[in-house]
Amino acid sequence: MDEIEVPSFFLCPISLEIMKDPVILSTGITYDRMSIENWIFLRKHNNCPVTKQELTDVELTPNHTLRRLLQAWCTLNASYGIQRIPTPRPPVSTSQISKLIKDSKSPKLQMRCLKRLKSIASENETNKRLIEAAGAANFLASIIRNAKRSSDSEVLEEEFELTKPEDEALSILYQLQLSETSLKSLVGENSEFIESMIHFMKSENYESRTYAVLLLKSIFSVVEQAEMMSFRGELLKEIVHVLKDEISPKASKAALQVLIYLCPLGRNRIKASEAGAVQVIVNFLISHPSDKRFSEMALTVLELLCQCAEGRSDLLKHGAGLAVVSKRILRISRFASDRGVRIIHSIAKYSGSNSSVLQEMLQLGVVSKLCLVLQVDCGSKTKEKATEILKMHSRAWRNSPCLSTAVPSFYPA
């Protein structure tokens, strides 16, 4: 490749690499299919990368002429190690997808059709959008709901299939990366869907548990907060179990994100605390001491839970609760420090009447950490919270040897 010059019109304007499947956008510019699909469908841009024109039509037309030129050029330069670009598969049609969905309703054909549907979805983003447009989301959801009903009403028999239809349907549903409208319809029209996700999270199939919590993360990112009040406490209990079991980093992050979506509501904070969320998250922080993203998300959930009495009580009951939070301040990121100080603020404000709590904060170095927050660049709001805490309990901590001589001047007489 270093010895030959690649014609510029063979290069994708996004990736700057040789195109494998050139397609023309409505603006007339040619891109590699994977690059432009990622631009439009994954990164959610609605304009042409080159012309900046707004896209009113996202249909991608194969550029057969350029592809044939590309393949001929590859053949001519085979001696330089250039491999011929294979001819892409013809795009799947809506009628093909509709037939697959129809055939999937037959028990004998269901598993084979689902596997084919999964294979089509994995090929490119356009196929995913076509599958979604054909109504696959509600159909797949119906397989999942029906399986949940069957398991509730029948004695489970021994099965020799490694993957059941409902597991396959769940994986396809997540793989489709559904639009906001389709995600909302799963909850709005299919009232049993969340119950089905609870059912999957209870299973011994770790892959299905992961897909269930990932799908819940997507759903809760678009539903209104008012709709989050109606879910049973069992949902939060199973989310906490997924986090506790540490199935995979992906599942753990999704579980934390679901808690972040649900716990701004007071009753959900209480349900999560009753499910043991605080203890699980503190232990999680202990086992992931240096992971920035995990720490930020875990501290965000803890800050929400400490806004209720049950959450604060659970944090204080955990032998390492205060110490773990204090240790994250000024060690991970400004965001983590802010959340850590907010947690300490909740404890100091609502549990500070207990002298043993104040003494523990002093012994664990929480007070000296707060003093350090005032001296470094960590955000004005974080400093304000730290100052409030120190002023709040100035009499209890004023004569402590760990305080610098400069800090008492902030205290009221």
Q: Are both 284 and 216 inside the same structural domain?
A: yes
Domain boundary among 80, 103, 121: 80
**Domain that includes residue 132, residue range:** 90-150+164-178
Q: Are both 76 and 95 inside the same structural domain?
A: no
Q: Are both 174 and 245 inside the same structural domain?
A: no
Q: Are both 48 and 74 inside the same structural domain?
A: yes
Q: Are both 62 and 99 inside the same structural domain?
A: no
pLDDT tens-digit map of 13-35: 999 999 999 999 999 999 999 99
Tell me how many domains the chain contains.
Answer: 3
Q: What is the mean pLDDT of the chain?
A: 87
- pTM for the complete prediction? 0.82
| Residue 196 confidence (pLDDT) above 60 | yes
Q: Domain for residue 336, yes or no?
A: no
Half-sphere exposure for 93 (CA within 13 Å, toward CB): 3
Domain boundary among 56, 80, 104: 80
Q: Are both 200 and 295 inside the same structural domain?
A: yes
Cβ count within 10 A of residue 399 = 8
CATH code assigned at 64:
3.30.40.10
Question: What are the Cα distances from residue 189, in Å, to 54, 138, 193, 377?
Answer: 33, 9, 9, 49
Q: Are both 199 and 310 inside the same structural domain?
A: yes
pLDDT tens-digit map of 67-120: 999 999 999 988 888 888 898 887 788 889 999 999 998 989 999 999 999 999
Q: Are both 51 and 101 inside the same structural domain?
A: no
Class of residue 123 by CB neighbours under 10 A (exposed 0-12, middle 13-18, buried 19+): middle
